[in-house]
Amino acid sequence: MPSMTLLGQSLVSGVLLGSLYGLVALGLSLSWGLLRLVNLAHFALAFLGAYLVYHLGTVWHLSPWWAALLIAPLFFAFGVLQHAVFLYFRVTELTSLLATFGISVIIESALQWIWTADFRRFETHYASTSLKLGPIYVPVVELAACIAAAALAWATWAWLRWTYVGKALRAAAEDPEIAVAFGINRRGLSFLLSGVCAAYAGVAGAFIALISTLAPSQIWTWLGVVFAVVIIGRLGNPLGALAAGVLIGAAESVAMATFSPAWAPVVSFSVLIALLLWQPDWL
Amino acid sequence: MTGRRAISGIGAVGGVGLLALLPLAGLPAFYDSFLYLIFYWISLATSWAILSGFAGYFSFGHAAFFGAGMYTTATLSVKFGVPFLVTLPVAAAVAAALAVGIGAVVFRLRRLRGELFALLTLAVSFVVATIILNTGIDGGAGVLTSSVAVPHLMPSPSGTIYLLGLLMCAGTLAITYAIAHSRLGIGLFAIHDDEDVAEVKGIPTFHYKLTAFALSAAIAGAVGGVHAIYVGFLTVSETFGISVPLYVVLMSVLGGARHWLGPAVGAAIIAASLYAFTSGDQAMIGRGIVAFILVVAILILPEGIVPSWQRWWARLRTREATTPTASEAPGIAAIPRNEKASGKVASLHPQTRAILEIRDVHKSFGGLQALRGVTLDVREGEILGLVGPNGSGKTTLINVITGHFPLTSGSLLLDGTAIGDLSAHSIAGRGIARTYQIPRPFAHLTVLDNVALAAAFGAAGLGRAASLAEARRWLDFTGLRAKENVLPADLNLHERKFLELARALSASPRLLLLDEVLSGLNPAEIDRAIGLIREIRAQGTTIVFVEHLMRAVVELSDRIAVLNEGVLFALGEPGAVMRDPRVVSIYLGKAHAA
Amino acid sequence: MLLEARNLRIAYGDATAVWDASLEVGEGEIVSVIGPNGAGKTTLISAIAGLLRWNSGTLHLNGNDLARVAAHRVCAHGIALVPEGRRLFTRMSVEENLEIGCYLPAARAARDATLERVYGLFPILRQRREQMAGLLSGGQQQMVAIGRALMARPRLMLFDEPSLGLAPAIVDDMFDIVRRVREEGVAVLLVEQNVLKAMEIADRAYVLEQGRIVSSGVPSDLLRQSHIREAYLGV
């Protein structure tokens, strides 16, 4: 049985990591919940963003914050373009799963071609700084990610909750025909949403670059966890995604400390399987 | 036709024989390896398609079965010294057991289809991988199999592996071909198009899916077993990586997942392109190109190469054939009115026994009570009209009788036997058939196959030849014979409604339930349909039909049952019932009742 | 004439639901279309609301040809729909549902004033404004659906079977509300299975059977004919 300090540290690390899960899950949850399309390419896009931030930072010495600001609109455009293609080919939920699977591999290959399969680490001067709260270390970058995740999740929630566009999106997701009957331009809004989700992927990627070591194959290791987070947090619910991410991150971390690191993936996948079997009606 | 098939069969065996002798030709080992890999991918992709292609349950977890087989062989032969060939059936069995375990739980859950099934299988695959990684089976160190003794079937070990790969491939294709042409195959294809309708037409969907899943896994397991020796060193990340799930999906989708040869074509193309690039960097570019092909294939050729080619070929040949007679509206001549009289008298005789007894049937959906205690006898040989305002429970009653929904309480007796808790396909087997208001034919089966399927799985349970003959008989009856090789999408509404009818009739039902068969038809078509319904009853089938077209109901029915708010409100002769003030008031409001 | 439909033919693929329908609604009129189940009433009104395309015939609102108008632009022309079965956004609150009604800019500008009028018409909705729409009773949901349509400040309101699934007592209230809607200056076109109620409230009515208008005129005249009886009861 590990010590209290170790447990405490795991918990904190887990919460921080979990908030990063939530940040990645945000875009996926929105597009799946509101657009009814499963976008596996979200992960690949996030890693593309990560590599771009890394590249801009190491080669052009651009601060990651500026880099993120630069790539967000680019990714927005990519999201709009991808959605246009999907609409043109009348893609369904299952076909979107397959097609985005393919897009992910294309991006992964591109990443490997440009940056090779070697692990890459984005070295910044604050990468190694930590705050110390009692016996527990809180890495600054991870804390920043946590704050960003919370801020973005809350902002998204507020957008969906309070603005007309947000309400229109929610209405169109539930009953597209009637939403259209009241003047909501569902098609146009779906482009907007795709762009936003892709931009979110880019932002998540910036934090991935700051926190994790990068390798193209890492795209797939995140897949299962984030899907579990999206489903547990309820599709289309930004705060839910954050909460679920934190929950899973903490559970994984504690499991790792208590048993062994290798068992961590089992936690999220088992929860995912359990949920799918138990069949909540929010799916 | 049999002559052609015999020639193809001999050709296939001959081809396999020639290929088997290849290692003896003294070519460099590279070719053994290259061809082995192509056989390997053909086997994996084809095995995946048995469930996922034929039945449409896309699995992203094929690696779980393949990996289970690989590690079974590795563990048994390395740690326990079991002879290599003996481990192969064990590997297949382990993989099949895993599939049965998953399927037994998952296939019972109606909502786990489509992308959720894909996700679930992916998750299971990862869990299996992690378990193998963390226990003694692999433990992270990998398993070395290069020292395992390979039987001396060929001059070199690589030759033997090649031969085994070839035999696996040929065997897989043979099995898949057999399945595609069997009852199991047709059932799977029907499940793919419309699982609920397949169940109602008599196909035991749960068993078929489970069987397909187990077969698919068993083959993958055996292939894995052979592959364990080929690679020489197993690691969890290689075995359970994203390659296998990705490629089998891609190969099948590219070549045509519904056709037995489709995955093989796709696999041959993709594998050959992949392994033409051998260096590390090129392999990765190769993957990118492969993925690009996947995306394009899914978007543009959703059916796949083989079916698209087949359709193009068929179109070419029909252009050469004589043009069919100008499309006259199908159907038989209208039957003169006085035939009504004789038919009716027989069934109004009070001693006519009840074929279906509905006793105090309740059906609730959550808080909504759709049926609140319906008690009704359906007399043998009668035409019973079932009417009532919107929401009165008519369609729910039909769905409950056919077993689409279980009863909340009450009982249903068919010929005295309780059917209330039977599965839909069992009820179909006892002689109840139905049509759907909006026709739901199996979109990828021809008109003939749609109807023949019902004959094969319905009460009569006919064999292939007999069901085709029976199907043709009912196509003649409904006037669709000329279109027997057409796909349902190419029929107009009237024809699709008659297809529904033919499909229901070919199951030789004792009781036929018609759900708004007349909606959407023009007056001439309605007259023809009414004539047809009379003919059907004249042949001895009892008919219950739900209809809104009141004139037709009054004209056709021996008795009318009026449902209102989930209970039987009135029952009796059409004229009497529809003039009953209470019935008038529920339709027109109380002021009209007088 | 506010709304003019001429020889509309509406089909789903090759299933024709409405063969030939012509009708008119004048400013401030209440017009009913009655007919048995399956006659094509919902199809007809869905097409007028812009949810469906029609295959042939013409539809004019205020002289504007609606043939080429995209589905999401129909509302801006002054038509609002109270759909069959309410079709509220169940996961959104009552007030949010109402706000969707005034999504369009013109209506949105008058949001507060219109909302007050709607709450005035349906006081109980003011009490339940924050509640999830899915939790309300059938009658209350119908009020929200009507309120949502009112928020769009339409010139013509379409009601698709407003009495469906409601208890008789509530049905009376519902039709009172339809009268009050007309008093606000909005014309009403309603399709209804319930003959009595539909005829009581209408200035003029049409009888739809098997996709065709078989009769039209003043309710008292129509009730004397045999069309309705034959269409509904087959005798």
Decide: B43 and B223 in contact? Cβ < 8 Å: yes
Q: Is B57 helix (H, G, I), strand (E, B) or coil?
A: coil
Cα–Cα distance measured from residue C128 to residue C230, given in angstroms and rounded to the nearest whole number: 44
What is the domain-level CATH number for residue B572?
3.40.50.300
Given the DSSP bridges, would you call strands A130-133 and A136-139 parallel, antiparallel or unpaired?
antiparallel
What is the domain-level CATH number for residue A202?
1.10.3470
Domain that holds residue A23: 4-278
User: In B232-330, which ranges are continuous DSSP H helix?
Assistant: 236-239, 243-255, 262-276, 280-300, 305-320
| Residue B313 falls inside a structural domain | no
The enclosing H or E element of B440 equals: none
| Residue A239 falls inside a structural domain | yes
Chain C residues with CB inside 8 Å of A170's CB?
Answer: 89, 91-92
> Which of B241, B262, B290 is where one domain is finished?
B241
Cα–Cα distance measured from residue C9 to residue C6, given in angstroms and rounded to the nearest whole number: 9
Residue A234 has a pLDDT of 82
The answer to whether residue C83 neighbours chain A at the CB level (below 8 Å) is yes
Chain B residues with CB inside 8 Å of C14's CB?
Answer: 492-493
Q: Is B393 helix (H, G, I), strand (E, B) or coil?
A: coil
Chain B residues with CB inside 8 Å of C193's CB?
Answer: 389-390
Q: How confident is the model at residue C143 (pLDDT cuts 50, 70, 90)?
A: very high
Q: Which segments of chain A have a pLDDT < 70?
A: 1-2, 279-283
pLDDT tens figures, C34-57? 988 778 899 999 999 999 899 999
CA C31 → CA A68, B116, C37, C66, C142, distances in Å? 59, 48, 19, 20, 19
> Which chains share 3+ C-beta pairs under 8 angstroms with A?
B, C
Decide: B226 and B161 in contact? Cβ < 8 Å: yes
Q: Are residues B448 and B567 in the same domain?
A: no
Residue B319 has a pLDDT of 64
| Residue B415 falls inside a structural domain | yes
**How many other CB atoms are found less than 10 A from the CB of residue B413?**
16
Q: Are residues B199 and B79 in the same domain?
A: yes
> Which of B216, B241, B266 is where one domain is finished?
B241
Q: Are residues B546 and B560 in the same domain?
A: yes
| Residue B441 falls inside a structural domain | yes
DSSP C132: B
Q: Are residues B405 and B502 in the same domain?
A: no
Interhelix angle for A238-258 vs A218-232, to 10°? 120
Chain B residues with CB inside 8 Å of C231's CB?
Answer: 550
Can you say whether the dihedral through the CA atoms of B341, B346, B351, B356 is positive or negative?
Answer: negative
CA B527 → CA A34, B168, B516, B552, C18, distances in Å? 47, 58, 14, 9, 19
| Residue A123 falls inside a structural domain | yes
A164, C91: Cβ pair inside 8 Å? no
| Residue A87 falls inside a structural domain | yes
- Residue B591: closest C-alpha in chain C: C196
Residue C174 has a pLDDT of 87
Residue C189 has a pLDDT of 96
Q: Are residues B362 and B481 in the same domain?
A: no
Q: Are residues B465 and B391 in the same domain?
A: no
Task: Give, in words, the CATH class of C3-233.
Answer: alpha beta
Q: Are residues B77 and B149 in the same domain?
A: yes
pLDDT tens figures, C195-218? 888 999 999 999 998 888 988 999
Q: Measured between CB atoms, which of B391, B551, B590 is closest to C230? A: B551
DSSP secondary structure string, A204-249? HHHHHHHHSPB-TTHHHHHHHHHHHHHHHT-TT-HHHHHHHHHHHH
Question: Per the structure block, which two tokens stand in for B245?
Answer: 């799930």
* Count: domains in chain B: 3
Residue B590 has a pLDDT of 54
Beta bridge partners of B297: none
Domains of chain C: which residue ranges? 3-233
Residue B347 has a pLDDT of 43
pLDDT in 10s for each residue of chain B, 594 residues = 577 777 888 888 888 887 777 777 767 777 778 889 999 999 999 999 999 999 999 898 899 999 999 999 999 998 888 888 899 999 999 999 999 999 998 898 877 777 778 878 888 888 898 888 888 777 777 888 887 777 877 777 788 888 899 999 999 999 999 999 999 999 999 999 999 999 999 999 999 999 999 999 999 999 999 999 999 888 888 888 777 887 888 888 888 889 999 999 999 988 887 776 655 667 777 777 777 887 888 788 777 788 888 878 877 876 644 433 333 333 333 333 333 433 443 444 555 789 999 999 999 987 788 999 999 999 999 999 999 887 788 989 999 999 988 899 999 999 989 998 899 999 999 999 999 988 999 999 999 999 999 999 988 888 888 999 999 999 998 889 998 888 998 888 888 999 999 999 999 899 999 998 888 777 888 888 899 999 999 988 999 999 888 888 999 999 999 998 889 999 999 989 988 888 888 877 654 443
Q: Are residues B50 and B195 in the same domain?
A: yes
The whole-angstrom distance between B231's CA and the closest CA on chain C is 54
B588, C195: Cβ pair inside 8 Å? yes
**CB crowding B216-236: b at 16 or more within 10 Å, else e:** bbbbbbbbbbbbbbbeeebeb
Q: List residues in chain B touching A: CB distance below 8 A.
A: 58, 105-106, 109, 111-112, 114-116, 118-120, 122-124, 126-127, 130-131, 133-134, 140, 241-242, 246, 249-250, 253, 281, 284-285, 287-288, 290-292, 294-295, 298-300, 302
Alpha carbon B559 to its chain centroid, in Å, reads 37
Q: Measured between CB atoms, which of C38, C161, C196 is closest to B549? A: C38
The answer to whether residue C113 neighbours chain A at the CB level (below 8 Å) is no
ipTM metric: 0.91
Domain that holds residue B193: 30-241
* Count: domains in chain A: 1
